[in-house]
Structure 1
Amino acid sequence: MKTFRYLLLMVPLMLAAFSSAGHAQQQLSLAQISQYFNSFSTAQGEFTQINADGTISTGTMFMKRPGRVRFEYNPPERSMVLATGGSVAIFDPQSSQNPERYPLSETPLNIILERNVDFSRANMVTNHTYDGQATTVTAQDPAHPEYGNIQLKFTSDPVELRQWIITDDTGTPTTVVLGDLAKQVQISDSNFNMQSAIRDFGN
């Protein structure tokens, strides 16, 4: 019941996000979406994560392309996800192994963390639709579709990323709803230091 109440609270927030770009909406081309990512190297903003089991988490995202992103979850959670140095580390206080690591190249998140994001690559985009309010693009690694996919939702005028759904190699979806992103902001490299993160998480 608690999760259901949270979901009800999320509905107006998501609708506000998708309508905030105004009435002059239009379908975005793959070139426009690629250019959106390539127009900035750093971004920071709040996020709400909806997990496959219906639980909801909130936190702050710090992105520094290429190849780095940090998700800090708000209390009472002490979880963190850190992508750096070609790997993704998941810090979970309930796990006996911290962090659990996976190659970044084997996750759909890698698609938007590349130095040069290019959605025009053959067989990368599997779906490209427009519902009158938002443009949705589903992308995968063309060489390894078995790694899963990322579904990105954008509003236009101005172009803004509002949500993504990552479906991993097991078919499990995770939805992230983004607040307004502050782009080209100063983000210290210390946020992506793996050894420092491991040390701090153990304290």
Structure 2
Amino acid sequence: MKSLCPLIVWIAIAAPAHAASLTDVAASLKATTSMAANFTQTGADGRVLTGRMILARPGKIRFQYDKAKLLIVGNGKTLTFVDYAVRQVSQWPVKSTPLGILLASDPDLSGVAKIAQVTDAGVVVEARDPKRPEFGALAISFRNDKAAPGGLSLAGWTSFDAQGGRTTTILSDIRYNADLSKADFGFRDPRAPVTR
């Protein structure tokens, strides 16, 4: 995997008194039943997009972009990418995508994740499924935050595809365990209806 530094750069003089473990990370994810945040996403081509993200475990997520005619939404089972500009819809099982590890009802990081970096500020977890290398890898960043579920705040992540392409997502203005409805994870299908 390429360097994780572009995700979040932390400089620490000494290791923290309590170094977060995978068990701590899994507990934090499990304790976060839902969240909402603003995001800034930088693609492999350098393009920067912003928007609003909401997440509800298990399996639900929505990336609503501010200006681009794009939508990413997971309804619990299926992750859907919608490009309204060209009326195209692509879908995958949520659990088969890099985001699956963030959206599992009971995250099990054993065998697919390891602690990649620990500082006084937080921890970076590197996740990849050795049985599915085509799905790439994910570097997930957490900040130490006593007010966050499990004491760790999800700061963002960098996804790496099988070809080495990198997309970085940074979160801000995070709100935890907010009330969200099922309708928040639906979408308008841009494809023209089939006529017979």
Question: Which residue in the other structure is 2:90 paired with?
Answer: 100
Deviation at 1:69, TM superposition (A): 0.3
Correspondent of 2:26 among 21, 34, 40: 34
- Coordinate RMSD, CA, aligned: 2.6
Structure 1 segments, 4+ long, off by >6 Å, are: none
Q: Is the 8 A contact 2:58 2:76 kept in 1?
A: no
Deviations 1:132-165 (A, max 9, x none): 4331110123432331111011111322111200
Whichever residue aligns with residue 94 of structure 2, its letter is L
Q: Is the 8 A contact 2:115 2:123 kept in 1?
A: no
User: Aligned to 1:198, what secondary structure does the other structure show?
Assistant: coil
**Matches of 2:175 and 2:37 in 1, distance apart?**
6
Q: TM-score, normalised by structure 2?
A: 0.79
User: Aligned to 1:82, what secondary structure does the other structure show?
Assistant: strand
Q: Is the 8 A contact 2:22 2:115 kept in 1?
A: no
Deviation at 1:27, TM superposition (A): 3.0
Correspondent of 1:84 among 75, 78, 86: 75
Larger strand percent: 2
CA distance 1:106–1:171, change in 2 (3 Å): farther
Q: Is the 8 A contact 1:25 1:133 kept in 2?
A: no
CA distance 1:153–1:85, change in 2 (3 Å): closer
**Structure 2: gaps (5+ residues):** 1-5, 147-151
**Matches of 1:41 and 1:198 in 2, distance apart?**
27
User: Aligned to 2:126, what secondary structure does the other structure show?
Assistant: strand
1:129 aligns with 2:117: yes
Whichever residue aligns with residue 133 of structure 2, its letter is P
Between the aligned residues of both structures, percent identity stands at 25
Deviation at 1:173, TM superposition (A): 1.3
**Matches of 1:162 and 1:25 in 2, distance apart?**
21
Correspondent of 2:106 among 108, 116, 123: 116
Q: Is the 8 A contact 2:22 2:114 kept in 1?
A: no
Larger helix percent: 1
**Matches of 2:161 and 2:125 in 1, distance apart?**
16
Question: Which residue in the other structure is 1:157 paired with?
Answer: 145
Note the 1:133-152 alignment, pairs <5 A.
133-152=121-140
How many residue pairs match? The answer is: 177
Deviations 1:140-197 (A, max 9, x none): 2343233111101111132211120011233321100001321111111001124xx3
Deviation at 1:25, TM superposition (A): 7.6
CA distance 1:135–1:174, change in 2 (3 Å): same
